[in-house]
């Protein structure tokens, strides 16, 4: 196996596991908070990655796409935490918060990884592996934040949109969900998600984090 691929897998493994696990657990915690214990009853409110990993979507698909496209295109997914919106105390309103909890957890993790990188720099760490891991942690979580907020059901952004729209507009958007996966894949392949959604959001978030954390540019390896 290519040594660069092995190094990339090792650098990204922990950030990806944390990003997926905390994202899904956050949905479950939020659902329980707002009255739906479905995820808790099924044991899905957990920080155990094995409860959230989908063998095909989390492991096989990203690795195969990475190899097939030389790292140019990677896509994957975890097992979604089950949420029964009918059990929420205020279903339409509460679903917005339940849906945002996952991306919100990713944004928080990006900040934690950035701080971890800043601490490494402050202590003069000369081990590049952990610096690369901190950078990977920031990027992985910001990408997950931006991607999951894409306003297409069943992504979190789509469910947030359904919760925010008036009922007469929310119903047709919600009906898109069975076809949402294919719509998202089509948009990804066409490059529209990257150009018109991901990159503008990522640039904005990176600029904001750079303004908040003086050493952020050094953490990200940007001169």
Which residues are catalytically annotated? 24
Rounded to 5 degrees, φ, ψ at 45 are -90, 85
The answer to whether residues 173 and 162 touch, using CB atoms and an 8 Å cutoff, is yes
* Contacts (Cβ under 8 Å, ≥6 apart) of 130: 116, 120
How many helices, marked H, and strands, marked E, lie in the chain? 11, 0
Q: Which residues contact 5 (CB under 8 A, 6 or more apart)?
A: 66, 67
- Number of residues assigned to the chain: 223
């Amino acid at each position: 196996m290519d040594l660069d691929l092995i190094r990339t897998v090792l650098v990204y493994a922990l950030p990806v596991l944390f990003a997926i696990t905390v994202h899904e657990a956050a949905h479950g915690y939020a659902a329980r908070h707002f009255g739906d214990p479905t995820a808790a009853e099924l044991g899905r409110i957990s920080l155990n990655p094995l409860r959230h990993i989908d063998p095909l979507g989390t492991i096989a698909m990203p690795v195969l796409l990475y190899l097939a496209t030389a790292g140019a295109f990677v896509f994957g997914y975890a097992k979604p935490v089950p949420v029964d919106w009918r059990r929420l105390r205020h279903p339409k309103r509460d679903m917005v918060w339940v849906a945002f909890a996952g991306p919100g957890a990713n944004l928080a993790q990006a900040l934690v990884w950035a701080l971890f990188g800043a601490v490494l720099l402050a202590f003069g760490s000369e081990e590049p592996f952990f610096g690369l891991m901190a950078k990977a942690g920031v990027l992985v979580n910001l990408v997950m934040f931006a991607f999951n907020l894409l306003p297409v059901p069943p992504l979190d952004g789509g469910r947030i949109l359904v919760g925010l729209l008036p009922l007469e507009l929310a119903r047709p958007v919600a009906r898109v969900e069975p076809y949402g996966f294919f719509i998202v894949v089509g948009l990804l392949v066409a490059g529209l998600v990257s150009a018109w959604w991901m990159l503008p959001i990522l640039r904005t978030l990176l600029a904001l984090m750079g303004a908040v954390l003086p050493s952020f540019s050094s953490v990200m390896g940007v001169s």
